[in-house]
Amino acid sequence: MQNRDHHLLTLKDWSRERIQETIDLALQLKSDLKTKGPSDRLRGQTIGMFFEKPSLRTVTTFQVGIHQLGGEAIMLDPESIGLGKRESIADVSRCLSRWVNAIVVRCFKQELLEKLAEYGSVPVINALTDEFHPCQALAFGQTMVEHFGALRGRTVAFIGDGNNVANSLMILAAKTGMNFTLACPKGFEQPADLVEYASPIFAQNGGSYRVFNDPKEAVRDADILYSDVWVSMGQEEQKDSKQSHFLPFQINDSLLALAPQGCMVTHCLPAHRGEEITDAIMDSPRNLCFEEAENRLHAQKAVMCQLMQATLPR
């Protein structure tokens, strides 16, 4: 396997400097698209896309982004490939590495992603697993810079389950000097080993990590509230049991009123309106989720440019 920072498997593998460089490049690419149009940074490059989970934003933004950079995307059908069934993960990765220049993977198990990176020789990009969603975190970082000017010193309060999005946001916060607050029912916190990993990084970079079981306490000093569905893909059987725990953790007018006046809201989408977030908040000018969705396009382009060592214009 190449060095882990030759891939985007989790933001744990990326330095603070690389994260900031990627966000800066995403901002540049967004500006360039408006002023100069599409580029040829990935001209001649082909990216394979393997998606086990359904997608609107991720599949669209990667395909459109690859096209805008002059590359070509190839969708790899999970049923046809049969990873680990029809053929071993190692053999598939070795073959793909001889045909494509990078592999974008959206799957259930982080282990599958790790194995593709271990046996292949091209960059592997995590487009979502059950454990992490680094592209979403980078798009959030870009959105924060656009709205607040910087990441360091800002406070994000994640209201809901300690899930894959929360995990990646926490790592981003730790490495960029942000404060991260999780508000969740007891028993739905983030993995203890991940918190243990992040704690000294928060301390080193001047940020902080807190957990509240009362969302009202969590929002009092927040710059932005982050929401996600209470039941992630593949966990639908937990819907009834989870809803009873999470009902007090809805982002609504009453909760937002307890936050500072300039506090904003975002959501990784898709949103279950009326559950984790209300219509009034979703349609409010204080909601940045659609700006964040737009920035998925540019953040992921920046990731591909970084990992595929595309030639930047002079």
pLDDT (0 to 100) of residue 64: 98
Domain 135-293 fold is: Rossmann fold (3.40.50)
Confidence band, pLDDT 50/70/90 cuts, at residue 310: very low
pLDDT (0 to 100) of residue 235: 60
19 close to 175: Cβ distance less than 8 angstroms: yes
pLDDT, tens digit (0-9, with 9 covering 90-100), for 266-280: 999 999 999 999 999
159 close to 183: Cβ distance less than 8 angstroms: yes
pLDDT (0 to 100) of residue 2: 65
301 close to 26: Cβ distance less than 8 angstroms: yes
Residue 140: how many other CB atoms lie within 10 Å: 29
87 close to 108: Cβ distance less than 8 angstroms: no
Tokens 């929002």, residue? 219
Confidence band, pLDDT 50/70/90 cuts, at residue 200: very high
pLDDT (0 to 100) of residue 173: 98
pLDDT, tens digit (0-9, with 9 covering 90-100), for 151-191: 999 999 999 999 999 999 999 999 999 999 999 999 999 99
pLDDT (0 to 100) of residue 274: 96
pLDDT, tens digit (0-9, with 9 covering 90-100), for 49-101: 999 999 999 999 999 999 999 999 999 998 888 887 889 999 999 999 999 99
Domain with CATH 3.40.50.1370 in the chain: 4-132+296-307, 135-293
Model-level pTM greater than 0.75? yes
Residue 121 pLDDT greater than 50, yes or no:
yes
pLDDT (0 to 100) of residue 234: 58
Mean pLDDT throughout 16-44? 97
Half-sphere exposure of 12 (CA within 13 A, CB side): 13
CATH class, 4-132+296-307 region: alpha beta
- Separation between Cα atoms, residue 284 and residue 291, nearest integer Å: 13
- Separation between Cα atoms, residue 126 and residue 136, nearest integer Å: 10
Instruction: Annotate 74-133 with DSSP letters as a single string.
Output: EEE-HHHH-BTTTB-HHHHHHHHTTT-SEEEEE-S-HHHHHHHHHH-SS-EEES--SS--
pLDDT (0 to 100) of residue 314: 34
Residue 236 pLDDT greater than 80, yes or no:
no
pLDDT (0 to 100) of residue 99: 97
pLDDT (0 to 100) of residue 84: 76
Which residues are known catalytic residues?
106, 133, 136, 228, 268, 296
H-run or E-run covering 293: helix 289-307
Sequence-distant (≥ 6) Cβ neighbours of residue 250 within 8 angstroms: 275, 276, 277, 278
- Separation between Cα atoms, residue 74 and residue 135, nearest integer Å: 19
